[in-house]
Amino acid sequence: MIKDKKKIVIWLVVLSFLFFGMTKIYESGQGHGIFIENFKIEDFPPLGDVYYSMDGGKILKVKTNKKSKVDVKGKKHIINLSYKTKENKKIIVEKEFIIKKNYNATISIGKLVYKDNVEWISYKEMYK
């Protein structure tokens, strides 16, 4: 009878560790959606075509007055933006940011480029 209780306790411990491990693996592999917006911000016109990459990955493009989406994993990210001014001068901007678990982010290129000390990134909960 004592051996049966030991087996039950051992199985309960194994199953609880397995469940805990599986949830941690799921959370760590869950992706985030990051939306990049190239819209007019107050008195500032939208930039021309903007090229960006997340975490040094593939270079993508956001056209004027459009929105783009990229899926990433993890919580710490770096965005690299590249655009040309009206004088045809190439500008490169690099910013680092963190996304919490179960959140998507929206990055406003206009606020990032034109405004200082303004929240250029907003977060939205994925699940409620």
DSSP 24-93: HHHHHH-EEEEEEE---BTTBPPPSSEEEEETT---EEE-TT-EEEEEEESSEEEEEEEEE-TT--EEEE
* DSSP secondary structure code for residue 118 in this structure: S
| Measured distance CA(40)–CA(53) in Å, rounded | 21
CB 99 within 8 A of CB 77: yes
Domains of the chain, earliest start first: 32-125 (2.60.40)
- pLDDT truncated to tens, each residue of the chain (128 aa)? 667 888 899 999 999 999 998 887 776 666 788 999 998 877 777 888 899 999 888 999 999 899 999 988 888 899 999 998 888 899 898 999 988 878 889 999 888 888 777 788 999 987 76
Using alpha carbons, list the distances in angstroms from residue 113 to 35, 44, 52, 72, 82. 16, 10, 13, 22, 11
